[in-house]
Amino acid sequence: MPKIAIVDKMHQDGINLLKKNPKFECEIIEDLSKKNLISKLPDFDGITLRRGKIDSEILQNCKKLKVISRHGVGYDNVDTNFLKKNNITLLVTGTTTSTSPAEHIMFMILNISKGKDLYDRSVRNGKFGAIMHMKHQTFELFSKKILIIGFGRIGRKLIKKCLGFEMEVYVYDPFVDKKIIESFGGKKVSNLDDGLKVTDILSLTVPLNKETNNMINMKKMKMMKKTSIIINISRGGVVNEKDLNEALEKEIIYGAGLDVFEKEPPSDENPLLKNKKVLLSPHAATFTKECVSDMAIQTAQNIIDFFDDKLSDSMIVKL
């Protein structure tokens, strides 16, 4: 009987799916320290992984391991080279993790473009009338240009929402054909810098890898309009945090929304925590009732389908 380690507790709906299945023996592992993972994981045939880092030092003792089912679609917390060399399958949760992040991007864009909590504060602070004489800081999304970097599952959900707001959508993704982008109503940008120069809003939905690390740095931000905003819900490190803070302070760009950080949680010294021009959320783009349940169910279902040999190709990461 395959033994499955549920590394980091997930929504009960997913846990139940595995625990109530008589074909598996399951154990929840909540201590995510390397020491604990090294000692516990060699016992298991499969792992579901939410938070926690699984590196080669941990994996080298996992001689029975056949599959890791990631709770989510990013997999920068797993040593993929080791998995490839040792023929261990890596699974992700496909489109279950795209609606909420796309909505979260819209939440950030709308929030920043409508002045964050400016109006709410003005009513509460007795400035109901005064606000109308203030310099207007808010702006419409209608006819604004958005550049979506990374046109995968989330990018394709996002474009529909942007078109609903009658925005002009540009897409930079060297791996997606122009015809596909056009079929969604977007315009393909072949050169990133050309896209950065014209866009009002930049949204990043790419995986973190060698090419995307530090993709948006000071040099790139200087190409952008002073009125532009950057939204990053993908991974910390894709946008250089030090440069972003400086670009906001020096008014090189107007605003930013970040759901992800180079170090999570960010340290108290991170200047972005005190920067009022950035809207922050705690890696929470998937934290809706629907998404946390769907993700846990899909994570568990992927394990079941793997051992039943019924997996859909869209869940398998091509290593």
Ligand X SMILES: NC(=O)c1ccc[n+]([C@@H]2O[C@H](COP(=O)([O-])OP(=O)(O)OC[C@H]3O[C@@H](n4cnc5c(N)ncnc54)[C@H](O)[C@@H]3O)[C@@H](O)[C@H]2O)c1
Q: Is residue 187 at the binding interface for ligand X, with CB under 6 A as the rule?
A: no
175, 276, 309, 310: which one binds ligand X (CB under 6 A): 175
Hey, what are 203's tokens? 């949204």
- 8-state DSSP, 133: G
| Burial readout 33-47 (b: 16 or more C-beta within 10 A, e: otherwise) | eeeebbebbeebbbb
CB of 108 to ligand X, least distance (A): 11
Q: Which of 70, 235, 241, 262 is flagged as catalytic?
A: 235
Hey, what are 27's tokens? 């154990």
Q: What is the per-residue binding string for ligand X in 257-286, x denoting contact by CB under 6 A?
A: --xx----------------------x-xx
* CB closer to ligand X, 95 vs 270: 95
38, 40, 66, 74: which one binds ligand X (CB under 6 A): 74
Residue type, 136: H
Question: For the purposes of burial, counting CB atoms within 10 Å of the CB of 224, is it exposed (0-12), middle (13-18) or buried (19 or more)?
Answer: buried
CB of 158 to ligand X, least distance (A): 9
- Contact criterion met (CB below 8 Å) for 274 and 69: no
Q: Is residue 73 at the binding interface for ligand X, with CB under 6 A as the rule?
A: yes
The span from the CA of 294 to the CA of 304, in Å, is: 15
14, 46, 52, 155: which one binds ligand X (CB under 6 A): 155
The span from the CA of 45 to the CA of 62, in Å, is: 8
24, 44, 107, 172: which one binds ligand X (CB under 6 A): 172
| Contact range with ligand X by CB under 6 A, out of 34-42, 173-181, 244-252, 306-314 | 173-181
Q: Is residue 106 at the binding interface for ligand X, with CB under 6 A as the rule?
A: no
Q: What is the per-residue binding string for ligand X in 195-234, x denoting contact by CB under 6 A?
A: ----------xxxx--xx--------------------xx
CB of 17 to ligand X, least distance (A): 21
- 264 is an active site residue: yes
- Alpha-carbon torsion 16, 37, 206, 287, what sign? positive
Backbone angles phi, psi at 33, to 5 degrees: -65, 150
Task: Tell me the DSSP string of 35-54.
Answer: HHHHHHGGG-SEEEESSS-B
Residues 285-304 touching ligand X, rule: CB under 6 A, are 285-286
Q: Which of 71, 47, 41, 72 is nearest to 59 (CA)?
A: 41
Strand partners, 155: none
89, 97, 99, 228: which one binds ligand X (CB under 6 A): 97
- 283 is an active site residue: yes
Which residues form the interface with ligand X (CB under 6 A)?
Answer: 72-74, 97-98, 101, 149-155, 172-176, 205-208, 211-212, 233-235, 259-260, 283, 285-286
Catalytic residue positions, numbered: 235, 264, 283
